[in-house]
Amino acid sequence: MRIKTPILCMLTGLLLSLQLNAQSSGKTDPEFLKYQTSKWVDSIMNKLTPDERIAQLILVAAYSNRGEEHKQEILELIKEQKIGGLIFFQGDPETQAELMNDYQQAAEVPLIGAIDAEWGLGMRLDNTISYPFQMALGAIQNDDLIYKMGEEVARQVKRTGLHINLAPVVDVNNNPENPVINFRSFGEDKQNVTSKGIAYMKGMQDHKVLTTAKHFPGHGDTDTDSHYALPQINHPLERLDSLEMYPFKELIDAGIGGVMVAHLDIPALDSTGVPSTLSKPIITGILKERLGFNGLIVTDAMNMKGVTTGNEPGVVDKKAIVAGNDLLEFTEDVPRAIAEIRKAIRAGIITQKEIDERARKVLAVKQWVGLNDYSPTSTEDIVEELNTPEAILLNRKLVEASLTVLKNKNNLLPLHRLDTLKIASISIGEEKETVFQKSLSLYTEVKHFQLPVEADGSQIDSVKAELKDYNLLIAGIHDQSKYPRNSVSLSQEVQEFVKELSADEKTIIGLFKNPYVLNKFEDIEVSSVLIEAYQDSETTQEMTAQLIFGGIGATGKLPVSVGEKFRMGDGLEVKAINRFKYTIPEDAGMDSKVLYTKVDSLMNEAIDAKAIPGGQVFVAKDGKVVMYKAYGLHRYSDTIRVKKDDLYDLASITKISSALPALMKLHDEGKFDLNAGIDDYLSYFRNSNKAGVPFRQILAHQARFKPWIPYWKNTIRNNGSYKWNTFKKDSSARFPVKISEDLWLHRNYQKKIFRAIKKSPLEEEAKYKYSGLAFYLLPSIVEEITRQDFRRYINENFYDKLGATTLTYEPSAEFPLKRIVPTESDFFFRHKPIHGRVHDEGAIMMGGVSANAGLFANANDLAKLMQMYLNYGEYGGQRYISEETLKEFTRTQFPDNDNRRGLGFDKPNLEYQGEDNNTAKDASQNSFGHTGFTGTMVWVDPEVDLLYVFMSNRVLPTRDNTRLYKLNTRTKIQQVLYDAIKE
């Protein structure tokens, strides 16, 4: 039983005066206080009746999703009770801004508008950004990012017509079972909580949004939710002073404009048992007098059970005002609250002067935020202006900086030797493929599995049986609630499975949950790799996948301790390796509006003109993927939409993507000489007119070779039928080369192709003339040098290591046809639509494997090879080709002979040729790439570190469709990329 006497309260106050830390000599007063005696405030005060001055201290709850009846209720309170302001809850930004305009118009004195936006407007409003919860922010080591978040949240709050953000939470969360603060806190370390609270506060207040540090005197060490009951905190004064109240004192000294008081029972501060919101010893005695806070004191919501139990509406508001609060949040009965406060004045419990001082304080805030010169909030483009690319990028940066690697045995992260890994992923707590899993697949082939929350033993055994075929498992443990609660709802069988995974050295675990949950998983601390991601947003899932593969690094530190498993401050640094980072244009200094709008327009123009049925566009700058998008359909006549992972026929891009990297590697090893000829590697050519022609000239298309030979024409009789000794309808040992399902080529026909190349005449003059003849021979040359199968060689040395798993020949042997985009309807050779086989006739007669054509890929995988070129031979922390060799192969070889070509690579025209130019106007002379007959293009520019991939099937249904060339879509899009680069 508590003793409630005035003497005890006096003793408490005396102890407080002796034990509380002295005020800092560097204390900064809230900036708005200078307006308390301004002319504007004086003019308003002179107009207000005593009751209207009381009404200035009241914030009423408003919603933008409750319709006209609710609006009329608020308007009535504004007009009849003259309330001081509103606190907005659920709704959407357009409606909220419209309502606030209407409410301001109805008010005689401008209304202050507040909102709980601890993690941004997304906490309350649809179609707005939610930044990471404060627990995740507590892991960030760079407080400048927190300041920038404050700046951005302030901008967004003001854009919706409001002025106060009831944030930051500066409770020190030192109770893992805290049900109400928990993930809303920066953590358990008072210094970390303080520094981040100050950074967030300054970011907002520097941009004229008032903030309130909450929940004074500290709500972190309780296991009771004050929304439903009154929590009790039984710590001694010394502990409360040195820990719970520490952040509040520091923020007060730093100039915080407001402090929100919690509903708490704290005997050491007030032995009467009243909630702190109603406690004069706490609010007036400690907060005002001892801590010297003279800013705006705001109650926590006055409808919460922690304060309403035993207190009637209106009466409880009076008690809060008497205790020393300036602003009542969520008053439920405004007329009665005003009446009760008026009674208290008449009874001498509080004076009119005190009320007037508080009304002046509220009005001073209104002037500080600009309400003395009020203008309505425009609702035009409000959603777009709230969700700016800069705001989205900041969110991504915050998430990236928060990711915390708790275990990384043998430095497995980031993953390196992708060619040695057979990877599976499993999403635990999910029933569908997750964003995390889709993001993993951007880097290499990953087989995906899911285990739902209530999975039983048989489901788990089924998955385990399939996982045996993989030597690396990536497990994502997902949250099932909107917020990262400190709970686990997974079945006991699933939890046992997580324990097994933790003991498996070939498993990476990503926890998309509250860090305290780590203590609820048995033995999770023995995991080889363990990533704490804090929450289960799509952005967090994306970034965690990128961390695993080295697209980004990790610097986060655990902001709380987790039982005996992990200590506050744990976190290993992981450095990125130069694999792709998937992000937005602004992260690479590009303008997303220019990029997306203009590329979309050009692609839609091409599709509408039937230049192409669809396509893919991939753009990376500085190693950052800023656009990867699919457009249109596979065919004009069907409904299969192009997906980003669909494969396209690369056509002549094969020339720089297959044998050429092999030749560059062999050149590095001294096994391939640019001054040697074909005959030095294929003895069959020693007595030909091509003997001695150096590869430098061959690869630069200056070897006098004929452009092409229509091999297929020699296989057809005059009546249009196939020669019996060349083709059969069924396969056999003599006819093993598949041209189509019912067309098989003789096994020796490749020799005829080589013979035709050998016997073909040379052009008279050694000048630039594009020729594919030698590229038929290059795979055989690579095999002759390496004594290894060509496909195996390029797979093992390039594609597998790059994670470019769709970069392949003969794709229908590996991928379903629904993922392969069709090309031409062939009416002169194969006499059927071409789907899943190479379009080029010569390449298909080489069995689909040639360096002239034959490769397929999606844009993402082709881009990995091209980024390696752009990096002058390095990608993903691994060197493939020397910088010297790549620079040699990509430079113009014979400019004096009016030849723009590099070695294999195409280059920009030596002089710009306007609309007929082969590249964008702004492409540098150091840029290089290639185009393909099927409607493809790939180009990189080292001058601005820019990579561009364009995929289409313009030859469908016929190669005679040249609209893509006439529209010049590919190079127009390329120019957009340069236009989008910000100066």
For residue range 539-561, what is the model confidence (pLDDT) as tens digits? 999 999 999 999 999 999 999 99
The overall average pLDDT reported for the chain is 95
Count CB atoms within 10 A of the CB of residue 828.
Answer: 12
**Do the beta carbons of residue 961 and residue 954 sit within 8 Å?**
yes
pLDDT of residue 896: 95
Q: The tokens 């457009």 sit on which residue?
A: 631
Q: Closest by alpha carbon to 59, among 245, 222, 260?
A: 260
pLDDT of residue 25: 52
Residue 10: band (very low, low, confident or very high) from pLDDT cuts 50, 70, 90: very low
Distance separating alpha carbons of residues 817 and 815, to the nearest angstrom: 6
Distance separating alpha carbons of residues 668 and 880, to the nearest angstrom: 10
pLDDT of residue 915: 87
Q: The tokens 């290639």 sit on which residue?
A: 930
pLDDT in tens, 196-218: 999 999 999 999 999 999 999 99
**Do the beta carbons of residue 605 and residue 969 sit within 8 Å?**
yes
Count CB atoms within 10 A of the CB of residue 171.
Answer: 31
- pTM for this model (two decimals): 0.95
Question: Domains of the chain (ranges plus CATH)?
Answer: 24-219+235-255+349-385 (3.20.20.300), 403-577 (3.40.50.1700), 596-975 (3.40.710.10)
Distance separating alpha carbons of residues 801 and 781, to the nearest angstrom: 22
pLDDT of residue 3: 36
Residue 54 is given by DSSP the state H
Residue 830: band (very low, low, confident or very high) from pLDDT cuts 50, 70, 90: confident
Above 70 in pLDDT, residue 143? yes
Query: Within 708-767, where are the H helices?
Result: 749-759
pLDDT of residue 20: 52
pLDDT in tens, 345-384: 999 999 999 999 999 999 999 999 999 999 999 999 999 9
Q: What is the mean pLDDT of residues 778-784?
A: 98
- Could you give the 3-state DSSP secondary structure of residue 547? helix
Distance separating alpha carbons of residues 169 and 153, to the nearest angstrom: 15
Report strand pairing: 825-826 vs 832-833. antiparallel
Distance separating alpha carbons of residues 725 and 298, to the nearest angstrom: 93
Strands annotated E in 293-375: 296-299, 328-329
Above 80 in pLDDT, residue 788? yes
pLDDT in tens, 642-700: 999 999 999 999 999 999 999 999 999 999 999 999 999 999 999 999 999 999 999 99
Least confident of 613-627, 674-688, 706-720: 706-720
pLDDT of residue 720: 74
Q: Closest by alpha carbon to 361, among 280, 278, 288?
A: 288
For every residue of 81-94, DSSP letters joined together read I---EEEE-SB-HH
Helix axes 592-608, 969-980, angle to 10 degrees: 170
Above 90 in pLDDT, residue 929? yes
Least confident of 21-25, 240-244, 336-340, 699-703: 21-25
Q: Closest by alpha carbon to 212, among 270, 281, 159, 157?
A: 157
For every residue of 253-267, DSSP letters joined together read HTT-SEEEEP--B-T
Q: Which amino acid is at 977?
A: L
pLDDT of residue 829: 86
Q: Residues with Cβ < 8 Å from 156, sequence gap 6 or more?
A: 117, 120, 121, 128, 129, 386, 391
Report strand pairing: 946-952 vs 258-261. unpaired
pLDDT in tens, 585-600: 999 999 999 999 999 9
pLDDT of residue 854: 98
Bridge partners of 404? 532
pLDDT of residue 23: 44
**Do the beta carbons of residue 976 and residue 968 sit within 8 Å?**
no
pLDDT in tens, 103-115: 999 999 999 999 9
Residues of the chain with pLDDT > 90: what percent? Answer: 92
Above 70 in pLDDT, residue 19? no
**Do the beta carbons of residue 588 and residue 977 sit within 8 Å?**
no
pLDDT of residue 515: 98
Distance separating alpha carbons of residues 174 and 187, to the nearest angstrom: 7
**Do the beta carbons of residue 749 and residue 845 sit within 8 Å?**
yes
Count CB atoms within 10 A of the CB of residue 482.
Answer: 9
